[in-house]
Amino acid sequence: MENSVLLKAIIDNAIDGLITIDDQGIIESINPSACRLFSYTEQEILGKNISILMPQPDRMNHDGYLFRYKKTGQASIIGVGRELTGLRKNGIQFPFRLGVSEVKYSGRIIYAGFIHDLSREKEAESKLHDYAALLEDQVQERTLSLRETVDAQEQTKAELNQSLENLHNTVFTLEQTQRELNLSLAKEQELGKLKSRFVSIASHEFRTPLSMVQLSASLIERHALPFDNPNISKHVDKIKDAVLNVTAILNDFLSLEKLDSGKVQTKFNHFNLAEFAAEITEEMQIALKGRQKIVFVHRGTESMITLDQTLLKNCIVILIDNAIKYSGEESSIQFYTKINENNCTIRICDNGIGIPIDDQKHLCEPFFRAHNTGKISGNGLGLSILSRYTDLMNGKVDFKSRINRGTLFTLTFPQS
């Protein structure tokens, strides 16, 4: 009795499946491993023909196989073992190895089938086959690539030899070119010095006759007062305006020459921006046209900054002068300053002719003027000088503009 219990425990806990059938193919017993393997319960499978666990055509041929074996004694599976395909309850097929033993028990014949699932082995075998095929393809690909590389190297070697031969000739040409470039550079540097000297001398030399012209115009105006002739006053005013324009042009050229030659050095000091901007506003009143006005407002409680006063004044004057020049005689020019813990901002806004979109990207280039300036005087240097002065003070220039709606310029400087 104990041996029978032990045998049942061993069968029930076996890793492989175990199924017994009679000589008609009817299932008499099945262990838990076989139930799990075929996804049936023991109650669902007992008493059924073993062919229920087989896909076609094995299901159809199984009974005929048993009949031939009993008649002829020739076995293809019993006592031999084969790899077969099983059919689970859900219709999924899987590979397994079947070993069948014939047992004579109590005067009758029982067939015991030992089932070992081969799913993992077949999957690993399939992966190994795929990997081997992949390796073979890679080997062929690498071999072909290697051949191509060798051919390319041979071609490159031939080209290198040709290039080396050409290189000797090129080196000589380059050396000759370098000598010519050095000579040209020396000439260009000399011309640059001559240009700077000419601009500086011309600017200073022109100032004396211009001052004389301006003084003479003032004297003519004074001596002409008793004659009360409007034509004299008109032409004297034209002389004065012309002198001012030429003086402004000379100043711009001189400023540009100093920037190009690196003569402009920043001198930072601490000063009151609100008072500084208010003084500039007062000074610019003389340049206003008709009924134009400048509205200055300093926003916030902070007013002290550290910048180069001379460069900053030049920047503000350039922007206000442009706002006056390109706005109508009834316009209002808005001038705002503000200081916070990170930076200082200066904004100058007008409602003048605006800047065409296509011209905006070139606005700070030397000698560039927008296409809509018409007969308004100017040399195209102001904003270029402004941009370079702002860079020297570690600031930046931003602007927004719309045709016939006006322009807003913003200068931003960091505050340490």
Residues 6+ apart with CB under 8 A from 378: 325, 369
Pairing label, strands 332-339, 343-350: antiparallel
Residue 81 or 101, more confident:
101
Query: What is the rounded average pLDDT of the residues 357-364?
Result: 84
CA–CA dist 30, 45 (Å, integer): 8
Burial status of residue 389 (CB atoms within 10 A of its CB: 0-12, 13-18, 19 or more) = buried
pLDDT surpasses 70 at 208? no
Query: 1-118 in CATH: which number?
Result: 3.30.450.20
Sheet containing 343-350: which strands, arranged edge to edge?
Answer: 293-299, 332-339, 343-350, 406-414, 396-402
Q: What is the pLDDT of residues 103-139, one digit of tens each?
A: 777 778 888 888 888 888 888 888 888 888 888 888 8
In CATH, the architecture of 265-414 is 2-Layer Sandwich (3.30)
Distance CA 245, CA 210 (A): 11
Q: Which two tokens stand for residue 324?
A: 């006056």
Alpha carbons 192 and 122: distance in angstroms, whole number: 85
pLDDT of residue 206 exceeding 70, the answer is no
Phi, psi of 207, rounded to the nearest 5 degrees = -65, -40
Q: Is the pTM of this model over 0.85?
A: no
Mean of per-residue pLDDT scores for the chain: 81
Res 82 pLDDT > 60 = yes
From the list 367, 360, 345, the residue with the least C-alpha distance to 402 is: 360
Model confidence pLDDT, tens digit, residues 213-262 = 666 766 776 666 666 666 676 666 667 566 556 655 556 556 666 666 67
Q: Across 200-214, 337-351, 364-378, which has the greatest mean pLDDT?
A: 337-351
How do the domains of the chain map onto residue ranges?
1-118, 265-414
State the pLDDT at residue 199: 53
Q: What is the pLDDT of residue 278?
A: 94
Burial class (CB in 10 A: 0-12, 13-18, 19+), 355: buried
| Residues 209, 70: Cα–Cα separation, whole Å | 138
Lowest mean pLDDT among 1-10, 33-42, 348-357, 391-400: 1-10
- Max mean pLDDT range (150-154, 178-182, 321-325): 321-325
